[in-house]
Chains A and B, each alone.
Chain A
Amino acid sequence: MGLDYKLVLWNKHKKTYDKIIALGMVLYLVLFIALTLAFNPETIAETMIIRAFGSLAVIMLHIILVIGPLSRLNPQFLPILYNRRHLGVSMFLAALIHGVFAIIHFHTLGNVNSIYAVFTSNMDYGSLTNFPFQVLGFLALLILFFMASTSHDFFLKNLSPNVWKGLHMLVYVAYALILLHVFLGAFQQETSVFTIGILVLGFIVISSLHLVAAFKESKVDGFKGEKDTGGWLKVCDVHEIPEDRAKIFSVGKKRVAIFKYDGKLSAIHNVCKHQGGPLGEGKIVDGCVTCPWHGYQYLPHNGQSPPPFTEKVATYELRLDNDMIYINPIGLEEGTEVEPILC
């Protein structure tokens, strides 16, 4: 994969993606403001800005959260996952405008520091209906800030994919905080079945998509193959794997992808070194296992990225017995050459 080639073409998709995001956001704001001016003409600009950006951010968050499970259920949605971070950063910016305007509007020009005021001007922390809901929004905004500011690949490299992934799983904490922020805040006063309804519906859709996707994966994890006398695991019939594709099995505590290509079979650890993408949902392209998330590549017979890249994943030994594939559950050192078996 030539580096220059990668940059130029990558940008083309990215630009379209960004244009769609910008279009969506502008559309939302224009419509929101037009409706507000038409039906609530006595309102003030600050309230309009706070509400427009707050509600925009929460809807964008829903879109962001459905992309993950959707693309696990149907790989055709992967291109949307590919540049999801742009959507994330844009959502953060909308939330930031909302939060900053709310703090300026409600908490500045007083006798105490405005951030201190967010936490202390309402001390009913013990009450549900009177809870200081701004605090919940503030904490959510902090999480979104950390996520947006570490979304660049630079941090991915320096934080290690696991830490990075952990940090980005916090989006679910942020989502919970935001729902509470809205239900304990604005909805107590600006009560409408329609706005409450859309967020309840959103919650149902997001949680069920995640459950369905998790169920699909638990089938892989629940796999318990028979072991033969040598301790090798019986996995599947060779015909169950499509050409240039893989099947994923959990072997011991690890997921392993078994690829079929050019009449050969090879097995590598399923987890991409970039962001932990599922290599077994990738495809053999130009002789390389290509990650479905961002296209990192690995040679199937040794788990190494082709030069100049240096990523390596663990490899596994395979055996074929009457069209039945067996795997040695003890994986080899990352990047170890294994002669592919012929099928």
Chain B
Amino acid sequence: MEKKDEFYIGYVDAVGKETKSSIKRFVLFALGLLLIGSILFGFFQKEANNSVFDFDTPTKISGTYYEAPYPMLRVELAKNTFKDVLLLGFGKFGANAYLDEIKRHKGNINGKHLTIEGNLIYYNGKTLLQIDDSQKISLDKSKKKNFVLPESMGNHEVVGEIVDPKCYFGVMKPGYGKIHRSCAALCISGGIPPVLAVSDNNSISEYFLLTDLKGNPIHKDIVPYIGLPSKLKGKVEKLEDWYTMRIDVSKIEKLDKESSIY
């Protein structure tokens, strides 16, 4: 006997036996595929690092303001132990716009004592503070501090990736590499200082704030080099717990390999 000639019509309720079992097989196959896909995509992710962004708990910190050339607050943790907290703005912006108002009213605030309420970002020994309101910055009554000149460390050549420190040190995971590159470009052109995250174990520091050869901030010019493994050369100076490197942007060497910090 010939098998029953089944034919499915969407608006007719009856579905033939064989058609039904074919559909069942397909549904099981599809659900199985989803299950396997979920396991593979879910399980095989690179583990994110333990950086922190306290976006929902504001913190007040006080310290001496200075620009080197990016805005920082030097906080005294214990007697004669200091920490440089890098200041940043809200979203993909630097801190300058938030500091302008207090500068307008109080003049030069370099070396003065400020109290700022913001959100802490920290990872691997570095601390940063996001300022989201210029009203949360206040000038404390105290004498202007003479601040210590940065210590020169000579010329160095290092390999790493230029990142935006806001995302790298806590706001995003991953905050580096190809996936994050566009965001880093926006952050740095928006005024967040460019930082070189080093992949070379022998380097004198893991992180360098990058400036131009005169020690001035760089933003837009460095955008094409962000988020790529590259080699940088320049004069290095040491602040309290950050290093800076003076570079010639046009001499950055893009390395055609996968960055080893991946």
Contact of B40 among A5, A60, A107, A195 (CB under 8 A): A195
Query: Could you tell me the distance between the alpha carbons of A3 and B15 in the complex, rounded to whole angstroms?
Result: 20
Instruction: Report A72-102 CB contacts with B as 1/0, cut-off 8 Å.
Output: 0011111110110000000000000000000
Q: Which of B21-58 contact A (CB under 8 A)?
A: 22-23, 26-27, 30-31, 33-51
Query: Could you tell me the distance between the alpha carbons of A7 and B13 in the complex, rounded to whole angstroms?
Result: 11
Structural contact, A9 and B44, CB atoms closer than 8 A: no
Q: Which of B181-207 contact A (CB under 8 A)?
A: 181-183, 185-187, 189-190
The residue in chain A whose Cβ has the minimal distance to the Cβ of B183 is A106
Give chain A nearest CB distance to B164 CB in angstroms.
11
Q: Is B231 an interface residue (CB 8 A)?
A: no
Structural contact, B35 and A27, CB atoms closer than 8 A: yes
Q: Knowing A10-B10, A12-B13 are in contact, say whether A55-B41 is a contact too (CB < 8 A).
A: yes
Q: Which of A19-69 contact B (CB under 8 A)?
A: 20, 23-25, 27-29, 31-36, 39-40, 42-44, 46-47, 51-52, 55-56, 59-60, 62-63
Structural contact, B47 and A42, CB atoms closer than 8 A: yes
The residue in chain B whose Cβ has the minimal distance to the Cβ of A59 is B37
Query: Could you tell me the distance between the alpha carbons of A109 and B92 in the complex, rounded to whole angstroms?
Result: 6
Give chain B nearest CB distance to A177 CB in angstroms.
17
Structural contact, B186 and A188, CB atoms closer than 8 A: no
Q: Is A117 an interface residue (CB 8 A)?
A: yes
**17 A-B pairs (CB sep. < 8 Å):** A9-B12, A28-B34, A31-B35, A44-B172, A55-B38, A75-B8, A76-B18, A76-B19, A76-B23, A117-B186, A118-B182, A133-B178, A185-B179, A186-B179, A188-B177, A189-B177, A195-B40
Contact of A110 among B9, B190, B262 (CB under 8 A): B190
Q: Is A121 an interface residue (CB 8 A)?
A: yes
* Contact residues on B (Cβ < 8 Å of other chain), bracket: 35 or more
Query: Could you tell me the distance between the alpha carbons of A80 and B8 in the complex, rounded to whole angstroms?
Result: 10
| Chain B contacts for A24, CB-based, 8 A | 30-31, 34
Chain A CB within 10 A, most for which of B23, B50, B258: B23
Q: Which residues of B contact A (CB under 8 A)?
A: 5-13, 15, 18-19, 22-23, 26-27, 30-31, 33-51, 90-93, 172-174, 177-183, 185-187, 189-190, 224, 227-228, 258, 262
| Chain B contacts for A109, CB-based, 8 A | 90-93
Contact of B5 among A39, A77, A283 (CB under 8 A): A283
Structural contact, B186 and A51, CB atoms closer than 8 A: no
Contact of B182 among A7, A63, A122, A242 (CB under 8 A): A122
Query: Could you tell me the distance between the alpha carbons of A181 and B217 in the complex, rounded to whole angstroms?
Result: 34
Q: Knowing A24-B30, A24-B31, A63-B30 are in contact, say whether A111-B189 is a contact too (CB < 8 A).
A: yes
Give chain B nearest CB distance to A3 CB in angstroms.
10
The residue in chain B whose Cβ has the minimal distance to the Cβ of A10 is B11
Structural contact, A82 and B10, CB atoms closer than 8 A: yes
| Chain A contacts for B40, CB-based, 8 A | 192, 194-195, 198
In the complex, identify which listed stretch (A231-239, A289-297, A328-336) lies at the interface while the others stay far away: A289-297
Contact of B37 among A39, A55, A107, A283 (CB under 8 A): A55
| Chain B contacts for A34, CB-based, 8 A | 42
Q: Knowing A82-B10, A185-B178 are in contact, say whether A40-B5 is a contact too (CB < 8 A).
A: no
Q: Is A163 an interface residue (CB 8 A)?
A: no
Query: Could you tell me the distance between the alpha carbons of A6 and B49 in the complex, rounded to whole angstroms?
Result: 57
Given A55-B38, A121-B183, list of 11 further CB < 8 A pairs?
A7-B11, A42-B51, A60-B34, A75-B8, A76-B23, A107-B182, A107-B186, A189-B177, A192-B44, A195-B44, A282-B7
| Chain B contacts for A122, CB-based, 8 A | 181-182, 185, 227
Give chain B nearest CB distance to A82 CB in angstroms.
5
Structural contact, B19 and A47, CB atoms closer than 8 A: no
* Contact residues on A (Cβ < 8 Å of other chain), bracket: 35 or more
Structural contact, A285 and B9, CB atoms closer than 8 A: yes
| Chain A contacts for B186, CB-based, 8 A | 106-107, 110-112, 117, 121
Chain A CB within 10 A, most for which of B42, B91, B180: B42
Give chain B nearest CB distance to A343 CB in angstroms.
18
Structural contact, A195 and B41, CB atoms closer than 8 A: yes
Give chain A nearest CB distance to B197 CB in angstroms.
14
Contact of A51 among B45, B51, B92, B187 (CB under 8 A): B45
| Chain A contacts for B42, CB-based, 8 A | 31-36, 39, 52
Give chain B nearest CB distance to A216 CB in angstroms.
18
Query: Could you tell me the distance between the alpha carbons of A121 and B70 in the complex, rounded to whole angstroms?
Result: 23
Give chain A nearest CB distance to B214 CB in angstroms.
24
Q: Which of A194-250 contact B (CB under 8 A)?
A: 194-195, 198, 242-245
Structural contact, A42 and B11, CB atoms closer than 8 A: no
Give chain B nearest CB distance to A29 CB in angstroms.
8
